[in-house]
A and B are shown apart, each in its own frame.
Chain A
Amino acid sequence: MSAMDAAGPPLLPPEFQRWFESRGWQARAHQLDLLEVARNRRSALLIAPTGAGKTLAGFLPSLTDLAATPRAKPGAAGSRRGVHTLYISPLKALAVDIARNLEAPVEGIGLDIRIETRTGDTPSHKRQRQKKIPPDILLTTPEQIALLLSDAQGREMLTGVKTVILDELHALVTSKRGDLLALGLAALRRLSPQLRTIGLSATVAEPDDLRAYLVEQTGDEPDREARNLADLVTVSGGAAPDITILDTDERLPWSGHSARHAVPDIYEIIRKHRTSLVFVNTRSQAEALFQALWHVNDENLPIALHHGSLDVGQRRKVEAAMAAGALRAIVCTSSLDLGIDWGDVDLVVNVGAPKGASRLAQRIGRSNHRMDEPSRAILVPANRFEVMECQAALAASRAGEQDTPPLRTGALDVLAQHILGVACAGPFLPDALFDEIRTAEPYRHLTRRDFDRTVAFVATGGYALRTYERYARLKDDGDGRLRLAHPSFAQQYRLNVGTIVEAPMLKVRLVRSKAEGRRTPVGRGGRMLGEIEEWFVDQLIPGDTFLFAGEILRFEAIRENEVYVSRARAQAPKVPSYQGGKFPLSTYLAASVRAMLADPASWSRLPGQVRDWLELQRLHSALPRADGLLVETFPRANKHYLVCYPFDGRLAHQTLGMLLTRRLERLGARPLGFVANDYALAVWGMSDLGAMIAEGRLSLDGLFDEDMLGDDLDAWLAESSLMKRTFRTCAVIAGLIERRHPGKEKSGRQVTVSADLIYDVLRRHEPDHILLEATWQDAAQGLLDISRLGELLRRIQGRIAHTALDRVSPLAVPVMLEIGKEPVFGAAQEALLGEAADDLVREAMG
C-alpha cells in the first residue's frame, strides 16, 4: 500500500504539511501509510528500526483526526468527549518521555489537544479529575488499563476510545504483562467496537504473531495461518550497522563473564568516542566492569553506572546527565534496553555474549538515533565460547536474522486476576465473558473447562472440597450473572493488580562502619543506595564485603527492611556477585554456534587462540556435531566425569542435570553432583561412567531418553525450590496470597501464610488444582525451560557420540571451572543441616 494510491483528500492535512515543511522535513512513506490504514479503519503493526520517527507515525492518525473534530460544546453533535487515543507502553518513564516529545508537533501545528499521563505515580486527585474530564490522549501502562477497566467510572471513561497505540510491542507480548494487556484490549473492543490498534515494534522473527495480537480473533481457529491479522507497515533499510568483534592481544579467558582482560581495550575505545553505552548482561557484571574501568580511568572520564537495582533518584540523575551530554560512557544492563532517547550515543559496546541476535540488534539501535547513518557497535566476548557466540550474532545481524521468542499461551493466573477485575466493574455473564476472552490472541485456545475452573477459583478458591461456598467472592445474582459479593474485594483487587512480582527486596542504606573502632551503634540517616534481593542478603554475615552501586560495601546489619552497609577499604569484595537478569542463549544462536564448531572451514573467522583451542579438541577428543550430542567421560581426582555439549542454555541444562543425576543414581552410578553453563553440562560421580558405557552397562540412548520428562521430572519438581518460587509468583498474581507492600512486611511474620506452606498442602491434597497447573505451565516456559529440553532430547535421539578420555578435554575446561559455584537445593538442605550439627558435636567432644 502506498500513499500514492489514496483517493480523496490528501492524507496529510495542510496544517500538518506546513509544519513538516517549516522544520525542513517531509512526511515519510510509513507515516503516510499509517494515515491510510487509519482512513481504511484498519489496525496496523509498524515495524521500524529506532530513529525512524516511529512514535510520531503512530500518533499522526490520531492527531489529524482530533484536528478535524472540534472539542465538545454542550449539545453539539459529532464533537469530542472522552478519551480519543490510548498510548500504552511498558515503561512509566517512556509515557512521560512521549508526552514531552508530542508537545512540539501539537504546539507547532497549533492543535487544541489535551495530552496527559496516568501511571502509578499520578496523584489521586489527578486520576479523579481524569475520570470526570478525560484528556484527548492518555499515555499509560498495562496495569493502569486493568485498573480503569475494573471500575464502572473508568470503563465509562474508556468507552468510545478510537485508537490504542501499543509501544515496544515486541517487549510487551513475551511476558505476563502482555497477557494482561491482551485481556484488557479484548474488553476495550467490547466497550468501543470501532476501536483500532497500532502496534509499534522493533524487528521480530514472527510479525504475524504481533499482527494477530493486535486484532480480534474469532474463537478456536486451530490454523495459525487463518488468524485475523492487522495490516503490516515496515520501514525497510536504514544503514546496516557497523559491528566488529574486539580483537585483543590478551589471553582469552576460559570461563567467567567479567571480561577483565579487555578492560584496557574498552577504556581506549571509550576514550576515542564521544559517548558510549557499555551493555552487560547482569547487574553484578555491571558493578564489576564499572569498578574495573575506574581502576584504569587515568583521565577521570565521566563514566557512570545504570542498572535496575539502583535507587530511582540515582538512575534519573544518570539519565539526565546522559541526555545533557555530560557523560562519556554508561555501564548498563537491560534497564536501558527500551526506547528512551539518550541523545548523542555514537558507540555501543556489548560486553559478554549477546545471547540473542534480536537482543543485540535492539542494543545496537541505541547508538546513533538517525536511521540513515550506520550504528556502530563493538562486541567484547568474555571467554572462548562467547567468541563463537559473538561471531554467530554478527553473522545473524548481517543476514538480518531475528530470534525473538514466540508468543505466549495466556497464563491462567493472569486470567484469574482479570476475571476478578471484571467483576469489580459490575456483574457479568460467564458466557459473554468467555467469548470476549477468546478474542484475545493469547487466550484464543482457552477451553471452557479451564475458564470455568478459573472462575471457580476466583469465587471460592476452586477446591474440590466445596467448603467455601458461603464465603464466595462471586455470587449469582439470580439472572445467571455473577457479581462481587462484597465491595471490599474490589479493594483487595486494586492492591494486587499487575503481573510483576518482585523478589522480596531490601533497601540498601549507607552508614558509618562499626569496624572503625568506635563502639557506637550503627547510625541511621545515611544515603539510600538502592535495593537488593533478600535472598542475597540472607547469605551475608556482618563484615562480608560485596559490590553494589559502584562501590565495595561492607555488610553491617539488617534493620527492619533496610540493609545497613558501610564503605569498605577492601581491594576486592569477598562475596563475588549477585545474579539478576541472566538471559538464556537463544535457540537460533545456539544452532549457529553448534554449526560453527562442527565445521572447521568456518574457523578462519575466529581469533588464533580460539582456533588453537578447537584444533586441540579435535586432536584429543572429538568435535560436537551440529545435529548430535558429544558425550565425553574421563577420570579426574578420584572422581569420574561425564560432560556433554547441548548448547541449549543454562536453564535447560540445569533441568537436564537434575534429571540425569536421578537416573544415574538409580543405575547405581553414584553421581555426586553436576554443573551447567550456557553451552555444556558436567556430571560427576564415584563410578567409572566411561567403563559402564563401554561394557554396555549404561546406554547413553537410554540415559538421554525423552521419557525422563515423565516420572523423573515429576518426582524432582515436587521438591524443587524453583517450583516453589514459581508458585509464589502465580499465587500472588492470581490473588491467593497478598502482595507484600513496602513497609508492611514486618507486621508479624508468624501470622502471614507463606507460599511454601500452601504449596505443600495443595500438592498433597489437591494435586490437580488449577494454580498448580498454572505453576507448571509457567515453569515449563520459564525457569526450567522444559520445552527447550524436550526439543534437545528429540534432536539428539540416536545421534549421541561417546568419547572415553583419560583426562579432561580442552572443550570441557570452561564448564569444569564452574564447579563449586552452584548453590544447593532440596535434599541437600538436610545434609547441610546434619553437617553443621555434626560440626558442633566435634567441637564439643574435641
Chain B
Amino acid sequence: MSPFTAQQPVRRFAPVCHDISLAGELVGLHDSGALWWPDEDTLVVSDLHFEKGSSYARRGVMLPPYDTAATLEKLAGVIDAFDPSRVIALGDSFHDTNGSDRLPATYRAMLTTLQLGREWIWITGNHDPVAPVSLCGETMEEVRLAGLVFRHEPEEDAAPGEVCGHLHPAARIRRYGRSVRRPCFATDGQRMVLPAFGVLTGGLNVLDEAWSGLFPPRGFSVFMLGEGRLYPFTASRLVAD
C-alpha cells in the first residue's frame, strides 16, 4: 500500500508581485521565482534546466522523467497570470547542449504554444551555450532593454542594472533553534540574481564564498520564496549552510 494516491492540484499563480526598484527601474518579484517588468511587459525566468532528468539518465542515474513537464507547467502558470508580450529565459534553459534535441514532442508543442504571440529570448548559459534546436525564439548572449541588461552569469564590475541567474541563490534563516532554507532573489538594488525556476534545481547559499565580490559584504537583501508571498531579509539576518 502506498499513501500517495491523491493527486495534488496544479498550483495557480496570482499576478501579485513584491515591487522593488532596480537601478531606477520598477520591477516585481514573484513567488514563483520569476521577475516581472511592467513597463516593458516582460517576464524573466532563469535556469529552467529542461531535460535535467534525461541528462542524468544518460549516465545511468534514473531521476524521475517529470522535471520538464513540471517546469513547463509552472512556466505556463506564470505566463497565464501575466500574459507578457516578451519572455526572457536567462540561460541554462536546457540542462545540456543536446537537451532541446531530446525534448519530447508533447513538450515541444506545449512550449511552442506558450511562445505564440510573444517575443521570446533565449539567453545562452554555461549549460546551453548554443541556440536550442527547432524551437522559436531568438538566441542571444545578452540583451539590453531600457536601463537593464540581462545575461546568464554576473560580470565583475558590471554597470548598475544587471539581471542574471546562474548561481541558484538560496538563503537560510534561523529562529527558535530551527532553520529554514529556501530559494531566493538576491539584490543590492543595482544587480539582481534570480532563483532557479526549474523544479529539479538545488540552491547555493548566498553566504557561500562563490558569492564574494558580487555584492558589498552583508550589504544586500534576499527575498525568500514562500507560499503565495516572499519573505524579505537583509543579509545580516541570514546564516550560512
A residues near B (Cβ < 8 Å) are: 457, 460-463, 465, 467-468, 471, 473, 486, 488-489, 492, 538-539, 541, 558, 575, 713-715, 717-718, 736-738, 748-754, 757-758, 760-769, 772-773, 776, 823-824, 829-830, 832-837, 840
Contact = CB atoms under 8 A, between A and B. Distances in A.
Interface stretch (B21-29, B78-86, B114-122, B229-237): B229-237
A714 B7 CA distance: 12
Contacts of A776: 1-4
Nearest to B196: A750
A467 B102 CA distance: 10
8 contacts: A473-B60, A489-B60, A715-B6, A737-B61, A753-B202, A761-B66, A823-B177, A833-B182
B54 A488 contact: no
B110 to A, nearest CB: 15
A765 B6 CA distance: 10
A767 B4 contact: yes
B62 A460 contact: yes
Interface residues of B, number: 57
B167 A768 contact: no
Contacts of B226: 830, 833-834
Interface string B46-61: 0000001010111011
Interface in B170-188: 170, 172-180, 182
B67 A836 contact: no
A824 B177 CA distance: 10
B233 A840 contact: yes
Contacts of B148: none
B178 A823 contact: yes
A767 B202 contact: no
Given A539-B177, A749-B202, A833 B231 contact: yes
A177 to B, nearest CB: 24
B201 A750 contact: yes
A836 B226 CA distance: 13
B70 interface: yes
Best-buried of A718, A753, A758, A834 by chain B (most CB within 10 Å): A753
B241 interface: yes
B209 to A, nearest CB: 10
- In the A-B complex, list the 3 residue pairs whose CB atoms are closest, starting with the nearest: A461-B62, A767-B4, A765-B66
B178 A832 contact: yes
A538 B195 CA distance: 22
B64 A761 contact: yes
A558 B222 CA distance: 22
Given A539-B177, A761-B64, A824-B178, A836 B233 contact: yes
Nearest to A458: B62
A840 B70 contact: no
A829 B180 CA distance: 7
Contact of B200 (A757, A768, A836): A757
B184 to A, nearest CB: 11
A824 B2 CA distance: 25
Contact of A467 (B54, B70, B224, B237): B54
Nearest to B225: A833
Interface in B184-223: 196, 199-205, 208
B2 A767 contact: yes
Given A465-B66, A761-B70, A836-B173, A749 B1 contact: no
Contacts of A761: 64, 66-67, 70, 199-200
Contact of A539 (B63, B174, B205, B240): B174
B8 interface: yes
A828 B66 CA distance: 28
Given A471-B60, A714-B5, A763-B8, A754 B202 contact: yes
A749 B178 contact: no
B8 to A, nearest CB: 5
B239 to A, nearest CB: 7
B118 to A, nearest CB: 27
A753 B2 contact: no
Contacts of B7: 764, 767
A766 B233 contact: no
A830 B172 CA distance: 13
Contacts of A762: 64, 66
Contacts of B180: 829, 832-833
B30 interface: no
A765 B3 CA distance: 14
A750 B168 contact: yes
A766 B64 CA distance: 9
A832 B64 contact: no
B66 to A, nearest CB: 4
A748 B208 CA distance: 10
B15 interface: no
Nearest to A466: B65
Given A471-B58, A772-B4, A465 B231 contact: no
Given A718-B4, A750-B202, A753-B200, A539 B178 contact: yes
Best-buried of B67, B177, B203, B205 by chain A (most CB within 10 Å): B177
A714 B2 CA distance: 9
B240 A558 contact: yes
Contacts of B1: 773, 776
Contacts of A752: 202
B227 interface: yes
A772 B202 contact: no
A757 B174 contact: no
Nearest to B234: A840
A770 to B, nearest CB: 9
Contacts of A492: 60
A468 B202 contact: no
Given A751-B202, A764-B70, A833 B196 contact: no
Nearest to B5: A767
Contacts of A538: 172, 174, 179, 241
Nearest to B3: A714
A832 B175 contact: yes
B62 A468 contact: yes
Contacts of B104: 467
Contacts of A541: 174, 239
Interface string B63-75: 1111101100000
Nearest to B228: A830
Contact of A749 (B5, B176, B227, B241): B241
A463 B1 CA distance: 18
A753 B69 contact: no
A133 to B, nearest CB: 34
Contacts of A748: 204
A23 to B, nearest CB: 56
Contacts of A750: 167-168, 170, 196, 201-204
Contact of A836 (B170, B205, B231): B231
A833 B230 CA distance: 10
Nearest to B237: A840
